[in-house]
Structure 1
Amino acid sequence: MIQIAVKTLGTLARGLRVVEAVAAHQPIGLTALCQELGEDKSAMQRTLATLHEAGWIRPLADAPPRWELSTKPLVVAGRALDTSPLPARARPLLASIRDETGETAHLALLDGTTIVVVDVAEGRQMVRTALHVGAVHPPETSAAGRAIFAHLTPEGRTDLADAPGMLLTDAEYDEIRERGWSLCEGAVQQGSTSIASAVTDLSGKPLGALVVSGPDSRLTPEKYAAAGTLLRNAVAELGGGRH
Structure 2
Amino acid sequence: MDTVAANGTGGDVTAKIAGVQALLRGLTILDVLADSPDGLASLADIAARTGLSPSTAHRLLSTLVERGYAGREPGSKGYVIGHRVVHFSTSVRRRTSDLRRLVRSHLEAITAETGETSNLVVLDGKNVVYIDQVEGTHALRMVPGIGSIFPAYTSASAKAILAYQVDDAQLDAVFTAEPRIKLAAHTLADRRDFVAALTAVVKHGYAVEESELAEGVSCIAAPIRGRNGVALGAISVPGPTQRVLEPAPERLGVLLKKHALHVSQALGFRQLSCAAG
TM-score bin, normalised by smaller chain: 0.5 to 0.7
Task: For residue 18 of structure 1, give the secondary structure of its aligned residue in structure 2.
Answer: helix
- Residue number among 69, 72, 86 corresponding to 1:75 in the alignment: 86
What displacement does 1:48 show? 3.2
Task: Indicate whether 1:17 and 2:42 are aligned.
Answer: no
- Residue number among 84, 88, 94 corresponding to 2:95 in the alignment: 84
Q: Deviations over 1:20-45 (max 9, x none)?
A: 3455484523x664454344566545
What displacement does 1:212 show? 2.8
Q: Does structure 1 conserve the Cα–Cα contact (< 8 Å) formed by 2:226 and 2:264?
A: no
What displacement does 1:214 show? 5.0
Gaps of 5+ in 2: 1-15, 176-189, 273-277
Task: Indicate whether 1:37 and 2:50 are aligned.
Answer: yes
Task: Indicate whether 1:198 and 2:210 are aligned.
Answer: no
Pick closer, same or farther for the CA change 1:41–1:206 going to 2, 3 Å. Answer: same
Equivalent residue for 1:136? Answer: 151
Task: For residue 198 of structure 1, give the secondary structure of its aligned residue in structure 2.
Answer: strand
Whichever structure has more helix as a proportion of its residues is: 2
Moved more, 110-119 or 200-209: 110-119
CA distance in 2, matches of 1:184, 1:174: 12
Gaps of 5+ in 1: 1-5
- Residue number among 219, 230, 233 corresponding to 1:208 in the alignment: 233
- TM-score (norm. length: structure 2): 0.59
Equivalent residue for 1:3? Answer: none
Show the 5 A alignment for 1:1-243.
9-22=20-33, 24=36, 26-29=40-43, 33-39=46-52, 43-59=56-72, 66-69=77-80, 71-73=82-84, 75-85=86-96, 88-89=100-101, 92-93=104-105, 94-112=107-125, 114-132=127-145, 133-138=148-153, 143-152=156-165, 162-165=190-193, 167-168=196-197, 172-176=200-204, 181-182=205-206, 184=208, 186=210, 188=212, 194-213=219-238, 216-217=242-243, 220=247, 223-224=251-252, 225-240=254-269, 242=271
Q: Once the two structures are aligned, what percentage of the paired residues are identical?
A: 23
Paired positions, count: 228
Q: Does structure 2 conserve the Cα–Cα contact (< 8 Å) formed by 1:22 and 1:28?
A: no
CA distance in 1, matches of 2:169, 2:134: 30
CA distance in 2, matches of 1:123, 1:201: 28
Pick closer, same or farther for the CA change 1:126–1:58 going to 2, 3 Å. Answer: closer
